[in-house]
Amino acid sequence: MTPLMVITFFGGVGLFLLGMRLMTDGLKVAAGNALREILARGTATTGRGILSGIVITALVQSSTAVIISTIGFVNAGLMTLFQSVGVIIGSNVGTTATSWLVAVVGFNINIQELAMPAIAVGMALRVTGGRTRRGALGEALTGFGIFFLGVDVLKTTFDGVEQHFDLAHYAGGGLGGLLMFTLVGMVMTVLMNSSSAALAVTLTAAGTGVIDLESAAAMVIGANVGTTSTALFAVIGATSNAKRAAMAMTWFSVLTGVVAFLMMPLLLAAGAGVAGALRLDVNPATVLALFHTATKLTGTAIVWPMTPWLVRRLERMFVTAEEDQGKPRHLDKNVAGTPALALEALNRELVRIGAIARRAAAGALSAEGPAGGWLERDKRAIERLVIAVGDFTTTATRSADLPEPMGRSFADAVRVTQYYSDMVERALELAGKQPAGLQDEELAAAVNRFKRDAIALIEQADAELDGFRSKRLRSAHEALEESYQEIKRRLLYAGAAGYLPVRHMVGRLDEISVIHRMLDQAVKAALYTRRIHKVLRQGEGVSDEEDGTERGGDGSDGEGPPVGTGG
């Protein structure tokens, strides 16, 4: 190839890429929120997700845009990993539309007669439409025309090259040569950041005889595998689920590529047969478009039934400390059918949740500055555990003849998780507050002492502690309640008397109010948990006396919910 031909070749690729970008951007804007709505809602099942992926990719002519959008939805929590797998499969099938555009339009229609009017009309709409949807549609139409101009330039560049430049000779024949062309397809896709551009170059080269059919098929496979690079780059620093979605894309592409490589002769022969049966022009570009479509459909047929298994496998990857902490360790579905065992498992899980909540609360109280991301991680972990406890409890309480004390205990367990969840919410709220310092040293010392006593109470509010006594916890809580009311009274007086700016008074009142609420939740959680323990111990034949449970002055067992306190 002469230097001029090389420059022309890269110019054709540049036109093709520019056209693709204009088409994609224009169609996304012209569609408005429709594509977003389809992605967000049209994925309830894997089948619907696949269909959504096919339609959107065919419309915007960019699997990369669809995959990155899907990963973005997963990253934001708007789409589950299961939903994303369907869209990823469908997007891979939808990208075959580019092959058909090149094969059918690029080789069977006078491109100049199609491209120039499209550019003229598109630019007219773009100039007169501005930033409206009409302008975006004009941009897409202009991109459509430029896209085919790029294809025409590539065709012109490749015409006659096969007489002077035999790529197959340089690559070597046989399996090694095919592997070399597969690598070429991958590298082209990575460098161009577009599998569609690599496919257009490949189909054009094959259509003009520069490379043989099998070598071109190997490049098509390489282009499909190479497109995973964009997804992998897009998830740098993203959430674990986004990384799993990118890995699903990689697994699908690699598996499809391996199967297509092994079945290459069969798929190429089938493509030629189908082209003849459909009365299409049996040229290399058409056969390759059919080969491309067949590989994607074959991959879909393999991966679609495997989706549940694939999701389960992916969920074991990229597990963060937060996700590991938020995964139930004792809620085994095999014990859910036996109420006594289910309640014991539930109690063990409550112990874990309580430890997380108390750690978060104590950490927020002792922190001198804004808390780090660990509080957010604890909050997300507790949210997952609360949902898991609710689901497990629903399964375990389906029995109609559940004893009343045990049924009450399951309800108590759900109540306890809500208290722990609220504790972490209050801890986050407290960590976000930075009230101004107090000039009154005695008042400042009282507030600091209140915080230290609050930490001690939270640590004491653990029903698993040896020597835990409900009465002792109630007494400590009542003493701290008196401290709270006294500090509140002194703050209000200082603000009313002008000793403390009103905004500083309000800030301090908000702070101690949050602590007060957090303490209420901690104590309630501990007392309800103790009531669950009583039911479990009685099931083991342990009496109140053996268990060391005190009885209240009213003859109750002292394990009920605490008396409400005023704010």
The model's pTM: 0.53
Average of per-residue pLDDT across 416-430: 91
**Can you give the residue ranges of every domain in the chain?**
3-315, 323-547
CATH (residue range 323-547): 1.20.58.220
pLDDT higher than 60, residue 554: no
Give residue-wise pLDDT tens across range 336-394.
Answer: 777 888 888 888 889 989 999 998 898 888 865 445 567 888 888 888 888 989 888 88
What are the distances in angstroms from CA 103 to CA 194, 200, 268, 278, 284?
18, 9, 15, 14, 9
Sign of CA dihedral 15, 21, 25, 31: positive
Give residue-wise pLDDT tens across range 75-92.
Answer: 655 577 788 888 888 888
Please state at what angle helix 502-539 crosses helix 339-366, rounded to 10 degrees.
Answer: 160
| Mean pLDDT, the chain, whole residue set | 78
Give residue 549's pLDDT band: very low, low, confident or very high (50, 70, 90).
Answer: very low
Radius of gyration of the CA atoms of the chain, in A: 33
Give the SS3 label for residue 552. Answer: coil
From 39-43, 336-340, 528-532, the region with the lowest mean pLDDT: 39-43
Question: What is the Cα 231 distance to its own chain's centre?
Answer: 13
Give residue 117's pLDDT band: very low, low, confident or very high (50, 70, 90).
Answer: confident
What are the distances in angstroms from CA 495 to CA 499, 509, 566?
6, 11, 21
Give which of 263, 176, 181 is closest to 222, Cα–Cα.
Answer: 181
The CA-based angle 154-156-160, given to 5 degrees, is 110
